Chain A
């Protein structure tokens, strides 16, 4: 039975690659991707660790005290990278889920499922650090401000996506149902991003923008960007580990997984 499913799957891949012989679709095959991902994980993990140490060092030992906020501003080095990641991961997740829905490529849907827990974690860290920053600066851990509320909705969208997928037994149906939530929820991301412009919010505006000079000291900006790249590398490493687990779970009846398990012993 596993064999038949595999044949049907590779026929699907062949059909896609047949449209102009694009051979990057080679990596749309879970077998090939499993190996490729395994080779990439150590590099991304190492990069994440080195950059996080460098970013923390800049954030605590190089960046000076802020003249307005004192030492409390140092929360920025996790708050901003975590917030960016939470939004960016959601967009990437929606794109993969959309590909899975339209092209019916299983690996795309697996990528979407692998991204959700890490995105939810970053959304939670963004809210938590934001609360701890808001208390000394605004006098409240939480206000029903547009920026804060839309970020909370983002966390709920991630949780909804995961809960819905967990509730459906058939993986392909779970993929399609999750894709609908992911795609509908993506409208929330620009709302979060532009909330500080559209509404009169307590939350400050963007720290950096494409059109203006950054509104913060260079060394602070450097620390924040180093931490943001560390968060990127971390996300890629963790998501690749998770997608490999999902591939093994879903392809467990196939011959290649059997061979792999045999070799691992």
Chain B
């Protein structure tokens, strides 16, 4: 362990704002990208399935 204590770790030798500001922003962007992408995939599949059900319903109506 190169750090004397956890508080020394969080203080980053006086550069806490710069070091944690970098890492937190990177984490926010990466987590945000993954979240947006998974949401896009989910809504896309829901929408495609809805369109399919609606068009299947139309076909049934014209058949009867």
Contact = CB atoms under 8 A, between A and B. Distances in A.
B33 A71 contact: no
Contacts of B25: 125, 128-129
A136 B18 contact: yes
A133 B18 contact: yes
Given A70-B15, A245-B40, A128 B22 contact: yes
Report whether over half of chain A's contact residues are helix, strand or loop; otherwise say mixed: helix
B18 A264 contact: no
Contacts of A129: 22, 25-26
Interface string A244-255: 110011001000
A245 B44 contact: yes
Interface string B4-47: 00000100111101110111011001100110011011001100
A70 B14 contact: yes
Interface in A113-152: 117-118, 121, 124-125, 128-129, 132-133, 135-136
Contacts, number: 86
A242 B51 CA distance: 21
B63 interface: no
B41 A241 contact: yes
Contacts of A118: 33
B11 to A, nearest CB: 8
A238 B41 contact: no
Given A61-B2, A65-B2, A238 B26 contact: no
B21 to A, nearest CB: 5
Given A61-B1, A64-B2, A241-B37, A261 B52 contact: yes
Contact of A71 (B1, B15, B21, B37): B15
Contacts of A135: 18
A206 B32 CA distance: 30
10 contacts: A71-B13, A72-B13, A125-B29, A128-B22, A128-B25, A128-B26, A129-B26, A238-B37, A249-B44, A252-B51
Given A72-B19, A264-B45, 19 more contacts: A64-B2, A71-B13, A71-B15, A72-B12, A75-B22, A78-B22, A78-B23, A117-B33, A121-B30, A125-B26, A125-B29, A129-B26, A132-B19, A238-B37, A241-B37, A245-B40, A248-B45, A261-B45, A261-B52
